[in-house]
DNA sequence: CTTCGCGTTGGTATCGTTAACAGTTCGTCG
DNA sequence: CGACGAACTGTTAACGATACCAACGCGAAG
């Protein structure tokens, strides 16, 4: 016997019909114990395993128990945590996870979505790349449930699980201002990605609220890697009016910045990271909980898959400003004698 | 129209048979341009997408263009890098990746493998958990290609892509000895996982070669998390005969150890990690390249899927001892005046 | 002794696609 | 002008599983 044995093979081995094998394999009660035992013996003998593909084809109305997870890049620690948590929930729900990386490329994102739906995923968890996500509408209409995590998608009505990026950054910048900083540099990723846009919005809001004019020379957008962040920091500090504090818009940029950041410059990073407290000074961060984000997103997704048809919701989870030292380095306008 | 349109729907819309639609969708040449255009218009109008499930069912002899990736835990940075690289190669080859986490639990590993094969994956990349992997034999016989990455699997003839863990650790320990250390502590993960066993083997070999008796009180096995590593370090240093140097068997343990490690103790970690060079002192590491490991594994897997039937190979990739400072902290037997 | 019903079991059609084969309509060549 | 192949299109029967319905045996009820 080469290739997988089928129900027919098992049926022949046990001397029953394929239908009876199906009943036994699916644990339906209406099979005589003696018959069931014979079938089970045949299953074991042949190493039979039900073919999920054929099963899903026949049972088109039932869920396929496969979901798709589409992230920028699984290698990113934040995304890896999201993936792990989503996989965990899926497993508990008896589903498999198909994974795909968009590398923040809208075209690639579309391709991966197509590959997912072609395999009849029940739903999709995604961190939307740039651009409109209207193209997901047909998939939704055809029954694929969609949940956005970490970022909102434009042009799409879908459940969304995020943190309040803008408010979190606003708080952090206020914190820097309170410690006597006026020239606060900003290191941001691609602005066309929702999260980065929100964070930048928070940065400007905090400055505006404090009556500080935003100096465009202190703002570096579109940074895509740790080395590019390091370069940006070096350039900023060497410039005419250097910043006395810096905010890094996400973990990668923080790592790059920290490679070249001299002491004396205040620093806050979006996203917590391992060993942040062992650096000198320990790094103040805006922490979010990727596991909670992904777990919530997956829970929402499965609720949808199991029939929840209420209007799309946006769940906002909390962030926390963890003061460790680097964010409390005093600036030139710090109050004395405290 | 609710639900996905099928070829039959497209055929009706275009006024042709389903077979002709199939031919157009698959780009077979033998369709009149006018007909093909009509079909393509119908495809666009209905938003038709080929159903990969049905297709794979019919074309049982062709690959399903889906592979399975089974790791301990995607959230682990090393595993995340592996997953990302594997997904990348798969995408280039036109395949999707199903992902699963074993959490180092052999039972869970088996379940995930079953879920994979039930979905007809063409092949499997896995970081084997503890225990025999003989159970994978039937899947192999039925045609599923299997490649182990990072670790070897016992009881299974399969391609394997690893580094020489034992030699790498041996070199690191020799390095510590050369810097004057005799009491070298070892922080290791679960010994029943191949990698950890190998690393411990290298540790003992280096001591033996230097004529140093291994002190069991300096060895902590079975550490599963950063906090447990931190505790172990604290306990070791508080003990009667404390170590003057420490070796951490993998990244997580290194992070935990570094949270509590006082200066003056030499330290080497297996696996490089971000910001290692920004700690004080910068951390000496044994670096391996997870991307290269996974890329190689995926390449081997696809070669198998495409018909390579040569005997199973083991590919050993290089490691590098990156001297940054923590591994060069002199020990009590260091030569003076260098 | 017939009939009913229950507990089991099997037959048939079908999910969406495609391999294999069977037409059909032409144009072309002898 | 009829036959023959080329180009195109359709029909049928699977792939492996299951929903639905029919049928079987057999004890109980009438």
Under the banding of pLDDT at 50, 70 and 90, the label for residue B338 is: very low
Q: Which residues of A touch B56 (CB under 8 A)?
A: 53
A115 at interface of B, judged by CB pairs closer than 8 A:
yes
High-pLDDT (> 90) share of chain A, %: 94
Mutate one of A2, A275, A295 to test the B interface: name it (highest B CB count within 10 A). A275
Closest-CA residue of chain A to B116: A96
Residue A14 lies in a domain: yes
Residues A242 and A170 grouped into a single domain: yes
For B102, which residue in chain A has the nearest alpha carbon? Answer: A88
Partner residue facing A96 (CB), from B60, B115, B275 = B115
pLDDT in tens, A295-322: 999 999 999 999 999 999 999 999 999 9
Question: Which pLDDT tens digit goes with each residue over A134-179?
Answer: 999 999 999 999 999 999 999 999 999 999 999 999 999 999 999 9
Question: What does residue B79 show for φ and ψ, rounded to 5 degrees?
Answer: -70, -35
Residues of B in contact with A49 (CB under 8 A): 114, 117-118
CA–C1' B11–D22 (A): 35
Average pLDDT over residues A123-142: 94
Q: Which two tokens stand for residue B141?
A: 């016989």
The answer, for B118 touching chain A at a CB cutoff of 8 Å, is yes
Residue B30: pLDDT above 50? yes
Q: How high is the pLDDT of residue A1?
A: 59
Q: Is the CB of A41 under 7 A from strand C?
A: no
Would you say residue A333 lies in a domain?
A: no
User: DSSP per residue over B239-300, as a string?
Assistant: SSS--SEEEESSHHHHHHHHHHPPTTSEEEEES--TTGGGSSSPPEEEE--HHHHHHHHHHH
Peptide linkage before A64 cis (omega within 30 of 0): no
Q: Is residue A336 part of a domain?
A: no
Name residues whose C-beta falls within 8 Å of residue A140's C-beta, 6 or more positions apart in sequence: A146, A156, A157, A158
Interface probe with B: pick from A4, A50, A88, A135, most Cβ of B within 10 Å: A4
pLDDT at residue A3, as a whole number: 78
Q: Are residues B176 and B156 in the same domain?
A: no
Over residues B129-147, the pLDDT tens digits come to 999 999 999 999 999 999 9
Residue A337 has pLDDT above 60, yes or no: no
Q: State the pLDDT at residue B1.
A: 59
Q: Closest nucleotide (CA of A51 to C1')?
A: D16
B97/A87 Cβ within 8 A: no
* Helices and strands of chain B, counted as H and E runs: 12, 12
In this structure, the answer to whether residues B195 and B218 fall within a common structural domain is yes
What percent of the residues of chain B are helix, what percent strand, and what percent coil, each to the nearest 5?
Answer: 45, 15, 40
End-to-end Cα, chain B, rounded Å = 83
What confidence tier does A96 reach under pLDDT thresholds 50, 70, 90?
Answer: very high
Residue by residue, DSSP assigns A240-263 as SS--SEEEESSHHHHHHHHHHPPT
> CB less than 7 Å from strand D: which protein residues?
A 3-4, 6-8, 18-19, 22, 25-26, 50-51, 54-55, 57-59; B 15-20, 23, 29-36, 54, 57-58, 60
Say whether residue A98 is in contact with chain B using an 8 A CB cutoff.
Answer: yes
Write the burial class of residue A44 (CB in 10 Å: 0-12 exposed, 13-18 middle, 19+ buried).
exposed
pLDDT of residue A141: 92
Q: CA of A315: how far to CAs of A78, A147, A293, B8, B204, in Å?
A: 18, 11, 9, 41, 53
Q: A134 and A226: one domain?
A: no
Same domain membership, residue B140 and residue B85: yes
Which residues of A, range 244-263, sit inside 8 Å of B by Cβ?
A: 255, 258-259
Instruction: Give the pLDDT confidence score for residue B331 in this predicted structure.
Output: 85
Do B91 and A77 make contact, defined as CB atoms within 8 angstroms? no
Q: Do B49 and A275 make contact, defined as CB atoms within 8 angstroms?
A: no
Burial of B218 (0-12, 13-18, 19+ CB in 10 A): buried
User: Which residue shows structure tokens 């395999």?
Assistant: A119
Q: How confident is the model at residue B29 (pLDDT cuts 50, 70, 90)?
A: confident
**pLDDT tens digit string along A186-235?**
999 999 999 999 999 999 999 999 999 999 999 999 999 999 999 999 99
Residue B97 lies in a domain: yes
Please check whether residues A72 and A159 belong to one and the same domain. yes
Q: What is the pLDDT of residue B336?
A: 62
Average pLDDT over residues B182-197: 95
- Mean pLDDT of all residues in chain A? 94
User: pLDDT band for position A30 (50/70/90)?
Assistant: confident
> Same domain for B86 and B153?
yes
User: What is the nearest CA distance from B80 to chain A, expressed in angstroms?
Assistant: 5
Query: What is the spatial distance, in angstroms and rounded to an integer, between the CA atom of B24 and the C1' atom of C24?
Result: 19
The CATH number of the domain holding residue B230 is: 3.40.50.2300
Reply yes or no on whether the pLDDT at B256 is more than 90.
Answer: yes
Q: Tens of pLDDT along B286-325?
A: 999 999 999 999 999 999 999 999 999 999 999 999 999 9
Helices then strands, each counted (H, E), chain A: 12, 12
User: How many angstroms is C1' of C28 away from CA of B30?
Assistant: 20
Which of A119, A121, A263 to probe the B interface (max B CBs under 10 A)? A119
Partners of B278 on chain A (C-beta within 8 Å) are 258-259, 279
Question: What CATH number did the domain enclosing A26 receive?
Answer: 1.10.260.40
- Distance (Å, whole) CA A270 – CA A251: 6
Distance B121 CA to C23 C1' (A): 38
Contacts of B267 in chain A (CB under 8 A): none
Q: What nucleotides of chain D have any atom within 7 angstroms of a protein Cβ?
A: 7-12, 14-20
In this complex, the answer to whether residue A32 has its CB under 7 A from any atom of chain C, a nucleic strand, is: yes
Residue B337 has pLDDT above 90, yes or no: no
Q: How far apart are CA A106 and CA A193, in angstroms?
A: 11
For residues A158 and A226, membership in a common domain is answered with no
Q: Which letter does DSSP use for residue B336 in this model?
A: S
**Position A1 in a domain:** no
* Structural domain for A201, as ranges: 165-288+321-328
Is the residue at B202 inside a domain? Answer: yes
Of B2, B76, B138, nearest to A47 by CB-CB distance is B138
B211 and B107 housed in the same domain: no
Interface of B with A in 59-88 (CB under 8 A): 60, 64, 66, 69, 73-77, 79-81, 83-85, 87-88
pLDDT for B3 equals: 78
Q: Identify whether A231 is part of a domain.
A: yes
Please name the residues in contact with A25: beta carbons below 8 A apart, sequence gap of 6 or more.
A7, A39, A43, A48, A50
The whole-number Å distance from A302's CA to C7's C1' is 37
Structure tokens at B105: 């639990």
Decide if pLDDT at B92 tops 90.
yes
Question: Does residue A338 carry a pLDDT above 50?
Answer: no
Q: Do A170 and A258 fall into the same domain?
A: yes
What is the residue-wise DSSP string for B174-220? HHHHHTT---EEEE---TTSHHHHHHHHHHHHHHHHTTPPP-GGGEE
Closest by CA to B46, choosing from B13, B90, B77, is B13
pLDDT reported for residue A106? 94
Structurally, how many domains does chain B consist of? 3
Query: Percent of chain A beyond pLDDT 70?
Result: 99
Chain A residues touching B258 at Cβ < 8 A: 275, 278
* A175 & A279 share domain: yes
CB atoms within 10 A of CB B211: 8
Q: Are residues A153 and A301 in the same domain?
A: yes
| The pLDDT of residue A154 | 92
Instruction: Enumerate the β-bridge partners of residue A268.
Output: A247, A284
CB neighbour class for A97 (10 Å; exposed up to 12, middle 13-18, buried from 19): buried
- A96: which chain B residues are within 8 Å (Cβ-Cβ)? 98, 100, 115-116, 119
Contact list in B for residue A142 (CB cut-off 8 A) is 3-4, 47
> What is the nearest CA distance from B83 to chain A, expressed in angstroms?
7
CA B117, chain centre distance (Å): 19
Contact call for residues A79 and A37 (beta carbons, < 8 A): no
Q: What is the pLDDT of residues A231-277, one digit of tens each?
A: 999 999 999 999 999 999 999 999 999 999 998 999 999 999 999 99
Rounded, the Å distance between the CA of A18 and C1' of C4 is 29
Is residue A60 a part of any domain in this protein?
no
State yes or no: pLDDT of B90 exceeds 80.
yes
């Amino acid at each position: 016997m080469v290739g997988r044995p089928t129900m027919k093979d098992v049926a022949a081995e046990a001397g029953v019909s394929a239908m009876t094998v199906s009943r036994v394999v699916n644990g339906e009660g209406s099979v005589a114990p003696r018959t069931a035992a014979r079938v089970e013996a045949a299953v074991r003998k042949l190493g039979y395993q039900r073919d999920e593909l054929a099963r899903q084809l026949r049972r088109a109305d039932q869920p396929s128990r496969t979901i798709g997870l589409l992230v920028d890049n699984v290698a990113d620690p934040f995304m890896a945590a999201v993936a792990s948590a989503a996989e965990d929930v899926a497993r508990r729900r008896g589903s498999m996870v198909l994974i795909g990386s968009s590398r923040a490329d809208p075209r690639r994102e579309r391709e991966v979505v197509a590959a997912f739906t072609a395999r009849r995923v029940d739903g999709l968890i995604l961190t939307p790349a740039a651009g409109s996500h209207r193209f997901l509408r047909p998939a939704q209409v055809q029954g694929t449930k969609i949940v956005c995590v970490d970022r909102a998608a434009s042009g799409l009505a879908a459940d969304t699980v995020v943190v309040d990026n803008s408010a979190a950054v606003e708080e952090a910048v206020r914190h820097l201002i309170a410690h006597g900083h006026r020239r606060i540099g900003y290191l941001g990723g691609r602005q066309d990605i929702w999260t980065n846009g929100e964070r930048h919005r928070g940065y400007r809001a905090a400055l505006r609220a404090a009556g500080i004019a935003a100096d465009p020379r202190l703002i570096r957008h579109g940074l895509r890697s740790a080395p590019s962040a390091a370069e940006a920091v070096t350039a900023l500090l060497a410039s005419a009016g250097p910043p006395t504090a810096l905010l890094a818009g996400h973990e990668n940029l923080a790592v790059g910045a920290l490679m070249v950041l001299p002491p004396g410059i205040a620093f806050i990073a979006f996203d917590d990271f391992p060993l942040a407290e062992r650096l000198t000074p320990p790094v103040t961060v805006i922490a979010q909980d990727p596991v909670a984000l992904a777990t919530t997103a997956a829970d929402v997704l499965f609720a949808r898959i199991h029939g929840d048809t209420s209007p799309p919701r946006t769940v906002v989870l909390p962030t926390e400003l963890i003061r460790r030292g680097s964010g409390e380095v005093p600036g030139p306008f710090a109050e004395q004698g405290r």
